[in-house]
Amino acid sequence: MKKRLFSYTLLIVCTGLVCFFIASVFITYTNNIHFAKEAVIETARIYADLFSESTDLEAFVRAGNRTRITVISSDGRVLADTRPLDVSELANHLSRPEIKAANDGTPSAFVRYSDTLHMELIYYAVKVPSGDSFVFIRAAIPVAQVGGYLWRSVPLLILVLILVIVISFFFARGMAGRVIIPLDSVYQKLKSLAKGEVSKSPITQSYEEINRITLEIDDISGLLQQNIDNLRGEKLKLDYILNNIGDGLIAVDKDGTVSLANTGVLRIFGSSEDVIGKKLNYLTYEKALIQAIEDCGTRGQSALFEITIDGSIFLVTVKRLPDTELTMAVLSNVTENRENAKRREEFFANASHELKTPLTAIKGLNELTMINSKDESITKYLSGIARETDRMLSLIGDMLKLSELENSKGLNPVPVMLRRTVDDVKETLSSLMADRAILFEADGDGEVMAEPGHIYELLKNLIENAVRYNNNGGSIKVVVTRVNKNHMLTVSDTGIGISSAEQTRIFERFYRVEKSRSQQGGGTGLGLSIVKHICTLYDWKLSLKSKPGIGTEITVLF
Ligand code: ADP
């Protein structure tokens, strides 16, 4: 920039000087011509005043030295001339423009080429009376004489020009340097700012504008420093949290490069080296994880699955971070949870089994006692025992079904006609429906691949609930329709409905909205859990719509 500034300044100064030089030469030249013309006019007039009839012409013209004086007769003959010429041989001068002008009474100066002297001259002629006639007194000076003064002064002018250019050279260099100094200081300031050094003083006092810029830079650098400090603090906090959450956390770029990996994930994969900026397989060869991260990166498809690493079970959540190109994977160790759940399920199944045998025995013995009992008050207690044992048996039955579903190892699906199972369930529940004057309607049919027992359980639980939580005289509708290539089952009722707050909880084990009503109707609180488990087993989609006081609609998309 300094070089450019210097060159531009020098170029501008030199161009200005050269233009000025040419203009001065031109103006001086035209002025000189003008003054020369005036001198010629003046001289011609003086000579005209001095002329009389008795003038000795030879002496008269010889008085002109540098100025050429010519006396011309009224008929255009040259009578005498300052230059040593043979005047008798000269052509008639009446047609000369200065003679013509003087003859017409409008004398004027002319610059023209002289055929006699072969040079350019400035001419002026005056018409002077002489006896009865008149003569023309003409004065002339060579143009070269005018230019001669000028050309003599040109070397001096050129010398001055060169001197001024040399001075301009040093001036331009000094100026370029002076302009650059404050800019250079701004540059230095920005450089130190980039290194993280913040100073708080204006660099120069001589340039108001530069001062303002540096003060502005100071302000910005102060703010930047503050933001950097805040960010550093936040990063430290974040790093601390990320490295102490226990879960493994990893963020991967679109091109598969690791951009974040906390100590948890390094521990899980037993990696001791820094994997940031490296490809994912520097950290792990776990196929399912790599594939899920790739799928999420390219198609934005989230994933939730489990992987086992060195005997530990990890629940992996893969998600695309919104507004970024990053894919995030969180690995949570669920080994303990799984083991606890397994232990719970085993206890659940064993306890149910163990309870079922003595209860069946109690039920049998109770029935025998009832048959043999003649005492009505005792029979009343015995039928109470029978009712509670039935309830406990159905509860144990549901618990066993649930643990069977949970521990199910492989399915044996066969084609099952839905309508047929609906009719079977209707048959089973017919007395219950009749008791409550409930209208039952079934529509549509379809075949699904499943274990028949599972379809029966699913339909029995849904339809039984529709009866149990219906109003007396209400109605139930079971419809099978086709959605694309799949079948869809809808069980709807005009019952008491479920509030939206309860809707998320009713699929939990033993969760009942109204415990008393559920118990009275023989409910165990496990019906919808069984339905949900069956749907999960076959990957069927279960959904619920309900409004308190209007009714409930449960849909299964097979
Ligand atoms: P329960 O054996 O108590 O019926 P479920 O798991 O089958 O247990 O149902 C859980 C709870 O959901 C029930 O206690 C009941 O409050 C509510 N519920 C289930 N189905 C319906 C329905 N069709 N209408 C209203 N409430 C229902």
Sequence-distant (≥ 6) Cβ neighbours of residue 9 within 8 angstroms: 168, 171, 172, 175, 176
| Top mutation candidate among 401, 476, 528 for ligand 1, by most atoms within 8 Å of CB | 528
Alpha carbon nearest to ligand 1 atom 16, residue:
513
Pocket of ligand 1 (CB under 6 A): 461, 465-466, 469, 493, 495-498, 506, 511-514, 518, 523-529, 552
pTM, full prediction: 0.50
Q: Which atom of ligand 1 is nearest to the CA of 526?
A: 6
Centre of ligand 1 to C-alpha 499, Å, is 12
pLDDT for 469 equals: 94
Sequence-distant (≥ 6) Cβ neighbours of residue 135 within 8 angstroms: 51, 71, 72, 73, 74, 79, 127, 128
CA distance 471 to 437: 9
pLDDT for 385 equals: 92
| Top mutation candidate among 394, 458, 465, 529 for ligand 1, by most atoms within 8 Å of CB | 465
Strand partners, 71: 80, 137
Centre of ligand 1 to C-alpha 467, Å, is 10
Centre of ligand 1 to C-alpha 555, Å, is 15
Torsions phi, psi for 443 (to 5 deg): -145, 140
pLDDT for 471 equals: 95
Where the chain has pLDDT below 50, the residues are none
Supply 403's token pair: 């643990």
pLDDT for 204 equals: 55
DSSP 447-502: EEEE-HHHHHHHHHHHHHHHHHTSPTT-EEEEEEEEETTEEEEEEEE-S----HHH
Alpha carbon nearest to ligand 1 atom 4, residue:
523
| Top mutation candidate among 394, 506, 530 for ligand 1, by most atoms within 8 Å of CB | 506
Centre of ligand 1 to C-alpha 337, Å, is 28
Sequence-distant (≥ 6) Cβ neighbours of residue 507 within 8 angstroms: 528, 529, 531, 532, 542
pLDDT for 273 equals: 80
Centre of ligand 1 to C-alpha 513, Å, is 7
- Per residue in 126-175, pLDDT (tens digit) is 999 988 889 999 999 888 877 776 777 778 878 888 888 888 888 877 87
Centre of ligand 1 to C-alpha 387, Å, is 21
Centre of ligand 1 to C-alpha 526, Å, is 9
pLDDT for 175 equals: 75
Centre of ligand 1 to C-alpha 516, Å, is 12
Instruction: Kindly tell me the sign of the dihedral angle through the C-alpha atoms of 454, 459, 465, 468.
Output: negative
Q: Which atom of ligand 1 is nearest to the CA of 527?
A: 7
Centre of ligand 1 to C-alpha 490, Å, is 16
pLDDT for 346 equals: 84
- Per residue in 497-536, pLDDT (tens digit) is 999 999 989 999 888 887 777 667 777 899 999 999 999 9
pLDDT for 248 equals: 93
pLDDT for 532 equals: 96
